[in-house]
Structure 1
Amino acid sequence: MKKLLLSGILLASLSGAVPPVKKSKTPPKSVTMAKTAIQDKIKGGWAGQLIGCSFGGPTEFQYNGTMINDYQPIPWYDGYIKHTMLNNPGLYDDIYMDLTFVDVFEQKGLDAPVDEHAKAYANAGYMLWHANQAGRYNLLNGLKAPESGHWLNNPHADDIDFQIEADFSGLMAPGMPNSAVQIGDPIGHIMNYGDGWYGGAFVGAMYSLAFVSNDVNYVVKEALKTIPAQSTFYQCIADVIKWHEQYPTDWKRNWFEIQKKWSDETGCPEGVFHALDIDAKINAAYIVLGLLYGGGDFTKTMEISTRAGQDSDCNPSSAGGILGTMLGYDKIPGYWKQGLREAEDIDFKYTTLSLNDVYALSLKHALQVVERNGGKINGDQVTIAVQTPKTVRLEQAFTGHYPVRVTPIRKSLENEYTTEFDGIGFVIRGEAKPKNRSNWGYESTFAFNAELYVDDKKIETAKLPVNFIHRRYDLFWKYQLPKGKHTVRVKLLNPDAEHVVSMTDLLVYSDQPVKSKL
């Protein structure tokens, strides 16, 4: 098997392989397309996701707070996609998470209530992290959407999760960005809120608009109109657009500007004060970076959205899916589709769906959404009532909360633990797990029960499953406390010789940010 390594040198040679994308004017109020053309774009969207996720997979969170330099090769060869799907199927959470919701729409109809989506997602067999796992835990313990994704109940509300799962909403709503956002709204609030939801709304709108415009700049700017200008998500992406206009040939200069202004993590307890940044808006900035500087060139888009770092499989997956929708499957360069066809009949892990299955399902659902929203189908011709983007409601997470300190704990909770802090909120990170970590507790049904007290007031009795699929992602948290000194006490109700609650650190919030002395 001949391997090719995609590097900056190869990028230069491949850039001319794709004809430049012609710029389009504002789409008319309606667009008529053949079903085959819509199918080609839907296939391009799903295939682009798979390609981007496969390409960026080896670099995911390996380059945090830094870019991947041009001389660093990233592998790509004929058979790579199939090999990855068979040997590293967990990589494709970008897609099998999407398919959870696609399957519910297929089984329960387009009017399926959000509880059906929540149930399918919460009880799925795949592993989850961050906002997804926090949302799953909330659902399994009686908290329904949208409360399951709200930042007061989910410390990861601003994380990237729905952003990487929202592709289905845009592929179901060709030329109808408002419908895409509406489809994704209740589902996105299962696990996210605020900027975390906006990431998915923005991505869904870009997919939708990519059906009816071949101008990347237009798609990005129009999709951003769905997001309130007062939000930090909007402001971040608007900056990326502004810096692209200032430095139109230097994506790295834009990257440095993003890093200087938008790399401070506020929500995700794993990312605060660390290089890891899984926040939705900065990773969306890297999607936009790839799209704008790629200029319709698939290779440049893949390279830049990956080399920006952080969640560098999810970001090229989104960028590749959006551009794949715009170009259509047939116009994705052959270099990127090598070995794709032999993978299109492989079911994604945790599903009974392959790419070929979802190509067909997405066309079916898209035609239904077209008819529901003023469009018409006449034989092979589909007339889409194109929508002008409308701004959604404003919601922001962690308002008035600024991380000021992380203190290591690094001890097991034996019976009780007490600590003090000065601020308005806190998170205690850690996990409940078997003492024998070889099985990660996948089969265990044991759960600790622990009480949380703040200033001698009982806040909750929390269930802490040791099963990795059902785990509570962060042990304890509480926001919106009165400013001042507080005492936190945790009492373990059922210690167990075979399992342990490991506490790692205490994150403290105040109402004012720490100011550098520089």
Structure 2
Amino acid sequence: MTKNEFRSRIMGCWMGKNIGGTLGMPMEWKRCKNNVNYYTHDLNGEPLPNDDLDIQILWLLALEERGFYINSKDLGEYFNEFMIFTHAEYGVAKTNLRTGLQPPVTGSFNNEFKDSCGAYIRSEIWACLFPGQPEMAARYAFEDAVIDHGDGQGVYAEVFVAAMESAAFYLDDIRELIEIGLSYIPSDCKLSEGIRKAVETYEAGMNEDETREYIMQNYIGHLECHYISEEDEQKGYQNGRMGWDVPSNIMIIIYGLLFGRGDFERSMLTALHYGEDTDCTSGTIAALFGIMKGIEFFDKKWIDPIGHKIVTCSIDPFRMFGKIPGTIEELTDRVVALHEKANATFSFQVNDLMTAKDFYASSYFLNIYLEMKTVKYEFPYLNVRIDYCGDPVVKRGERKKIKLILSNTSKSITSDRLDIYLYNREGCTVLPQNEAAVFLTMAHMGAGIKEVEYEILIDEPLKPIYHFVVEFIFEENKNGRIMHVPVVLVSETGSVHQVIWEKRGENGTCNLPRV
């Protein structure tokens, strides 16, 4: 692939994102069949703003400022500071981040929307930075997704799409791309089940209306306060599980790609036919075609009404003034420049002779999902993982267990003793005691990973938040480094009150909770 071809595909990705997002935005989260062939609203040469693209621009800024050795905690800082949209999983994650919690706990704790669509819609940045390297794209997508989706299906969705899009720089066989994406997620997760069911029903000969009924009957989430057609309401499709949105919408993308049979417009418009999160489904499909075909592929009828401008709505416009790219061309140039830095950093080996088998996940990739339950801190010679053993919640008079998983990452010193001290807070008791010592061999020798458990007991009236610090010191000095890791516990009262749904409004208004 030449530099000009690569740049064309990057620009095609972002143009496709704007085309699909703008086309689908007016019918976003309407549960109905859509008979749409073109933009449905007046446009003045600009695309509609969309968080799908905004957050990817935020990741662009983070990478430009901090480089590629970046993780979920780094991305979480940008997310909390500069992303001003606070709906659903975004708002839950920002609340958890402000409390002092860290990913992936920020995406799991109190989050009914961890199985929703907010992560896969921002996957393209990783594919564009790591074209033909789906494992790299998937690893960064994982770090991204856990911020606000924790251990939910939303994480699998972003990994799946990022891997598929990365491979699409060198492969345009839709069925093969789907299988490549599936190789990066657990075969027993609900998302994988939904994708395979979508492929099965398509290959069984079910048409668009039949497959839509299959989704509505088996995979729908709750609509919140959006529109529902009278036909769908009469069929009982007004209520599903709250936040259970990503399986159905990824299935819609799969149906769009399969029914489209390689035709861009047919693929995108098929996805719109199903309804639901239409800007996300059509935007992902259009971006994928842009990656496969390049900017020249798109007919002028799709580009002229929206132009090349980037319009944002969820990035802080004051603190990010002058940093947000204003056009598709500027965004493309900055992504290409970052890709060149990534290539210099990681020394990719990619060529046009690679085949589909080169893009499938390695046998060990799925181990990454072991990180969905623990907060990881990396130091020279030591990795620390905090396992909250459930929610990070402390209750008066009940022991709260936390677990420290410790790895000696030294490559040159066979073994060492690690001294641990958990600094207490007033009114708390640490059991069995604050201080401990652990013998660690090098982790790569097979027995160098140890677990240490503490229990925290509070018998006094609870405070809202407790900030603890765990200190680690190797007895054999290791440059005299003292390492500290934060542990955050919160207190919570109340229980979930059963919602009573009411029909308020004319036909087309979905049920709302009595509040």
Band the TM-score falls in, shorter-chain normalisation: 0.5 to 0.7
Q: Tell me the equivalent position of 2:39.
A: 75
Check 1:264–1:130 CA distance in 2 against 1; reply closer, same or farther (3 A cut): closer
Counterpart position of 2:203: 245
2:132–2:170: 8 Å Cα contact kept in structure 1?
yes
Determine if contact 1:376/1:384 at 8 Å carries over to the other structure. Answer: no
* 1:200 Cα deviation after fit: 0.6
Report the CA distance shift for 1:278/1:237 in structure 2 as closer, same or farther (over 3 A).
same
SS in 2 for 1:101: helix
Pick closer, same or farther for the CA change 1:313–1:81 going to 2, 3 Å: farther
What residue identity is the alignment partner of 1:361?
R
Mapped contact 2:9–2:295 kept (Cα < 8 A)? yes
Letter in 2 for 1:58: P
Instruction: Report how far residue 182 of structure 1 moved.
Output: 0.7
Residue deviations 1:133-174 (CA, integer Å, cap 9, x gap): 111111112111111012x44222111111112221112111
Residues 1:392 and 2:384 are matched in the alignment? no
Q: Secondary structure of the equivalent of 1:247?
A: coil
Match of 2:66 in 1: 108
**Contact 1:67–1:309 (CA under 8 A) maintained in structure 2:** yes
AA aligned opposite 1:461: P
Equivalent in the alignment of 1:343: 308
Q: Which residue of 2 aligns with 1:286?
A: 252
Contact 1:155 1:269 in 2 (8 A): no
Distance 2:12 2:313 in 1: 17
- Give the aligned residue type for 2:308: A
Shift of 1:207: 1.0
Distance 1:83 1:330, change over 3 A: closer
Instruction: Tell me the TM-score normalized by structure 2.
Output: 0.64
Residues 345 and 272 of structure 1, relative CA distance in 2, 3 Å threshold: closer
Supply the distance in 2 between the matched residues of 1:459 and 1:231 (Cα, whole angstroms): 38
Q: State the partner residue of 2:5.
A: 37
- What one-letter code is carried by the residue in structure 1 that aligns with 2:125? F
Unaligned stretches of 5+ residues in structure 1: 1-32, 399-455, 464-475, 479-487, 491-502, 509-518
3-state SS in 2 of match to 1:82: coil
Give the match for residue 325 of structure 1: 291
- The amino acid that maps onto 1:254 is T
Contact in 2 for aligned 1:210/1:219 (Cα 8 Å)? yes
Q: How many residues align?
A: 368
| CA spacing shift, 1:255–1:107, aligned 2, 3 Å | same
TM-fit CA distance, 1:373: 4.7
- Partner of 2:201, secondary structure, is helix
The residue number in structure 2 matching 1:188 is 145
Contiguous gaps of at least 5 residues in structure 2? 227-236, 374-458, 467-489, 501-515
Partner of 1:176: 133
Contact 2:137 2:163 in 1 (8 A): yes
Q: Within 2, Cα distance between the matches of 1:232 and 1:459?
A: 38
Matches of 2:491 and 2:263 in 1, distance apart? 45
Give the one of 44, 54, 57 matched to 2:25.
57
3-state secondary structure, aligned to 2:464: strand
Indicate the residue corresponding to 1:315 in structure 2.
281
Deviations 1:395-452 (A, max 9, x none): 7999xxxxxxxxxxxxxxxxxxxxxxxxxxxxxxxxxxxxxxxxxxxxxxxxxxxxxx
**1:259 CA displacement:** 2.1
The reply on whether 1:461 has 2:461 as its aligned counterpart is no
The within-5 A match list for 1:155-234 is 155-192=112-149, 193-234=151-192
Amino acid at match of 1:180: A
Give the Å deviation of 1:459: 8.2
User: In the alignment, what sits opposite 2:269?
Assistant: 303
Identify the residue that residue 260 of structure 1 maps to in structure 2.
217
Paired letter, 1:314:
C
Give 1:108 deviation, angstroms.
1.1
CA–CA separation in structure 2 for the residues paired with 1:199 and 1:224:
10
Aligned to 1:96: 54
Match of 1:353 in 2: 325
Are residue 506 (structure 1) and residue 498 (structure 2) matched? yes
Task: State the 1:305 CA deviation.
Answer: 1.4
Could you say if the C-alpha distance between residues 331 and 305 of structure 1 is closer, same or farther in structure 2, counting changes exceeding 3 Å?
Answer: same
User: Contact 1:268–1:278 at 8 Å: present in 2 too?
Assistant: no
2:270 and 2:460 mapped to 1: Cα distance? 51
Instruction: Label 1:243 to 1:369 Cα distance change in 2 as closer, same or farther (>3 A).
Output: farther
**CA–CA separation in structure 1 for the residues paired with 2:121 and 2:261:** 22
1:133 aligns with 2:98: no
Preserved contact between residue 178 and residue 389 of structure 1 (Cα < 8 Å) = yes
CA 1:50–1:153: 2 relative to 1, 3 Å: same
Q: Give the structure with higher Rg (CA).
A: 2
The CA deviation at 1:349 is: 6.5
Corresponding residue for 1:425?
none
Per-residue CA deviations over 1:316-374 (Å, capped at 9, x if unaligned) read 1111111211111111222212244x433667763521322211122122333345554
SS of residue paired to 1:149: helix
Distance 1:296 1:134, change over 3 A: same
- Contact 2:221 2:242 survives alignment (8 Å): no
Change (3 A) 1:294 1:320: same
Post-superposition shift, 1:42?
Answer: 0.9
State how far apart, in whole Å, the 1-side matches of 2:293 and 2:73 are.
Answer: 35
What CA distance in whole angstroms lies between the structure 2 residues aligned with 1:345 and 1:154?
31
Aligned to 1:363: 336
> Would you say the 8 A contact 1:298–1:333 is kept in 2?
no
Amino acid at match of 2:168: A
Q: Which amino acid aligns with 2:262?
A: G
Percent of aligned positions that are identical: 18
